[in-house]
A and B are shown apart, each in its own frame.
Chain A
Amino acid sequence: MSTLTRYSAIPYTGPAPTNRAPYVPKNAEPANARGEAIATTLGNAAMTQERGQDMPTFLVERARIADVLRNLAENPDLAFILPLDCFGTDYPDREERFDVVYQLYSLKNNERIRLKVRVGENDTVPTSTGVFKSFDWFEREVFDMFGVRFEGHPNMRRILCHEAFQGHALRKDYDPAQRWILTEQNVARIIPKIDPRFATEDTDFERVTLNLGPSHPATHGTLRIVVTLDGEKIIGADAEIGYLHRCFEKMSETHTYQQVIPYTDRLNYCSAIINNVGYALAVEKLLGIEAPARAQQVRLMLSEFWRIADHIVCISANLVDIGALTNYWYLMQPREEIIGLTEACSGARLLPSYVRVGGLAVDVPSNFLEQAQRLVDMLPRYIDDVEKLIWKNRIFRERVQGVAVISKEDAINFGFTGPCLRACGVPYDVRKASPYIGYETYDWDVPIAEGGDTYARFLVRFEEMRQSLRILQQAIDRGLPAGPVIVDNPYVALPPKSKVYNEMESLIYHFKLIMHGIQPPVGETYFQVEGGNGELGFYVVSDGTKNPYRVRVRPPCFPLFEAFGQMITGQTIPDAIGALGSLNIIAGELDH
Chain B
Amino acid sequence: MPIEKIDNPNSIIGRKLNQLPGSGPEKGIQTLPGESERDIADFAGGSYLTTTVDTMVNWARSNSLWPFPFGTACCAIEFMSMVGSHYDVSRFGAEVVRFSPRQADLLLVEGTIVDKMGPVLKKIYDQMPEPRYVIAMGACATSGGFYRAYHVMQGIDEIIPVDIWVPGCPPTPDGLMYGILKLKEKIDRGEIRRS
> Is A243 within 8 A of B72, CB to CB?
yes
**Could you tell me how many residues of chain A have their Cβ less than 8 Å away from some Cβ of chain B?**
52
> Is B117 within 8 A of A177, CB to CB?
no
> Is A336 within 8 A of B86, CB to CB?
yes
Assess whether B46 is interfacial by the CB under 8 Å rule: no
> Is A179 within 8 A of B72, CB to CB?
no
> Is A336 within 8 A of B84, CB to CB?
yes
**What residues of chain A lie closer than 8 Å to B81, measured between beta carbons?**
332, 335-336, 339
Segment touching A, from B7-15, B23-31, B142-150, B182-190: B142-150
> Is A243 within 8 A of B120, CB to CB?
yes
Assess whether A483 is interfacial by the CB under 8 Å rule: no
**What residues of chain B lie closer than 8 Å to A492, measured between beta carbons?**
none
Assess whether B76 is interfacial by the CB under 8 Å rule: yes
Per the bound structure, the CA–CA distance linking A262 and B170 in Å amounts to 12
Per the bound structure, the CA–CA distance linking A587 and B172 in Å amounts to 20
Which of chain A's residues has its CB closest to B110's CB? A221
Assess whether A444 is interfacial by the CB under 8 Å rule: no
Assess whether B155 is interfacial by the CB under 8 Å rule: no
How far, in Å, is B170 (CB) from chain A's closest CB?
6
Encode contact with B along A207-234: 1 for CB under 8 Å, 0 otherwise. Answer: 0000000111100011000000000000
Assess whether A367 is interfacial by the CB under 8 Å rule: no
**What residues of chain B lie closer than 8 Å to A266, measured between beta carbons?**
73-74
Segment touching B, from A180-188, A406-414, A561-569: A180-188
Per the bound structure, the CA–CA distance linking A165 and B71 in Å amounts to 24
How far, in Å, is B149 (CB) from chain A's closest CB?
4
Encode contact with B along A324-358: 1 for CB under 8 Å, 0 otherwise. Answer: 00001110110110010000000001110000000
**What residues of chain A lie closer than 8 Å to B123, measured between beta carbons?**
184
Per the bound structure, the CA–CA distance linking A517 and B12 in Å amounts to 67
> Is B114 within 8 A of A243, CB to CB?
yes
Assess whether A499 is interfacial by the CB under 8 Å rule: no
Per the bound structure, the CA–CA distance linking A165 and B150 in Å amounts to 9
Which of chain A's residues has its CB closest to B170's CB? A350
Encode contact with A along B77-117: 1 for CB under 8 Å, 0 otherwise. Answer: 11011001110000000000001000000000001101111
How far, in Å, is A168 (CB) from chain B's closest CB?
10
> Is A181 within 8 A of B115, CB to CB?
yes
Task: With A243-B72, A246-B73 given, name 20 new contacts (CB 8 A).
Answer: A161-B150, A177-B149, A177-B150, A179-B150, A182-B119, A221-B111, A222-B72, A222-B73, A244-B111, A244-B117, A245-B116, A246-B151, A247-B152, A313-B77, A332-B80, A333-B85, A349-B78, A349-B170, A351-B74, A588-B74
- Residues of A at under 8 Å CB distance from B? 160-162, 165, 169, 174-184, 187, 214-217, 221-222, 242-247, 250-251, 262-263, 265-266, 269-270, 313, 317, 328-330, 332-333, 335-336, 339, 349-351, 587-588
11 A-B residue pairs with Cβ-Cβ distance under 8 Å, sorted by A, are A162-B115, A178-B150, A183-B119, A221-B72, A242-B114, A244-B73, A247-B151, A317-B80, A332-B84, A349-B78, A349-B172
